[in-house]
């Protein structure tokens, strides 16, 4: 199969630039924390250090991608229908479910961010939508009764959004030819996806379901796009 090339308009962003970090604690964590603080008090160890130690043992930190990345992602997500139409018109069945190689030319609006940041952000963005089963907590690419535990389709919750060019970033075998460039006038990402014909899987135990069901979101308004 010949490679497919698409252009994502607008300046690319990384997820690492000013990430939002905030602490989270589970209901169980809160219960544990209360118990620990009570115990510390009973043992007359209710000092500042014990309290902080108890808190840190129960708390986790959630790192959310940078607001810039979210903005870029949301803009690209709006273009998803056009992207899918364009790929279908060119005779491509997306998402790719086999191992792939990606060549991406990042034409940035300014010279910021690092290579890893851009490739990670793009890899995330081009994955398929995913749903999590609320009964068994496993994930699926299809809107249907849970393939893992058989729970009804209403148990699925949307847990990942993406452009649906490839099913999962675990398929990416290489980034050969990828470059960080700059074009302040016309920032964009030109990306070429080709089948990785090495014949070997990229990761052990990675099973792909058949093509994900594509749900077209309502088009917001007429947008002139060139891909
Ligand atoms: Zn399930």
CA of 8 to the centre of ligand 1 (A): 35
Q: In this predicted structure, what is the pLDDT of residue 215?
A: 38
Closest CA to 143 of 57, 132, 135, 173: 132
Q: In this predicted structure, what is the pLDDT of residue 198?
A: 60
CA of 148 to the centre of ligand 1 (A): 5
Closest CA to 66 of 124, 126, 111: 124
Q: In this predicted structure, what is the pLDDT of residue 208?
A: 44
CA of 138 to the centre of ligand 1 (A): 6
CA of 151 to the centre of ligand 1 (A): 5
CA of 140 to the centre of ligand 1 (A): 9
CA of 168 to the centre of ligand 1 (A): 19
CA of 146 to the centre of ligand 1 (A): 5
Q: In this predicted structure, what is the pLDDT of residue 153?
A: 92
> E strands along 10-113, which residues?
20-24, 60-64, 100-108
Length of the chain: 227
Residues of the chain with pLDDT under 50: 205-227
Lookup: tokens for 143: 């809107």
Number of neighbouring beta carbons within 10 Å of residue 68: 18
CA of 152 to the centre of ligand 1 (A): 8
CA of 44 to the centre of ligand 1 (A): 47
Q: Is it true that the peptide bond before 182 is cis, omega within 30 degrees of 0?
A: no
The phi, psi pair for 138, rounded to 5°, reads -85, 160
Q: In this predicted structure, what is the pLDDT of residue 219?
A: 42
């Amino acid at each position: 199969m010949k490679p497919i090339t698409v252009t994502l308009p607008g300046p690319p962003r990384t997820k690492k630039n000013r990430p939002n970090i905030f602490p989270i604690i589970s209901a169980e964590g809160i219960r544990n924390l209360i118990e620990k603080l009570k115990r510390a008090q009973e043992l007359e160890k209710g000092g500042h250090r014990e309290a902080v130690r108890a808190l840190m043992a129960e708390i986790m930190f959630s790192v959310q991608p940078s607001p810039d990345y979210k903005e870029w992602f949301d803009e690209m997500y709006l273009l998803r229908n056009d992207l899918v139409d364009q790929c279908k018109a060119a005779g491509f069945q997306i998402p790719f479910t086999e191992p792939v190689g990606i060549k991406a030319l990042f034409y940035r609006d300014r010279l910021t961010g690092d290579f890893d940041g851009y490739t990670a952000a793009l890899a995330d963005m081009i994955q398929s939508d995913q749903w999590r089963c609320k009964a068994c907590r496993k994930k699926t690419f299809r809107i249907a009764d849970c393939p893992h535990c058989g729970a009804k389709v209403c148990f699925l919750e949307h847990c990942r959004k993406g452009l649906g060019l490839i099913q999962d970033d675990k398929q990416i075998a290489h980034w050969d030819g990828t470059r960080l460039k700059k074009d302040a006038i016309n920032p964009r990402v030109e990306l070429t996806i080709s089948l990785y014909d090495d014949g070997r899987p990229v990761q052990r135990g990675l099973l792909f379901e058949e093509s994900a069901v594509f749900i077209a979101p309502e088009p917001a308004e007429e947008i002139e796009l060139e891909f």
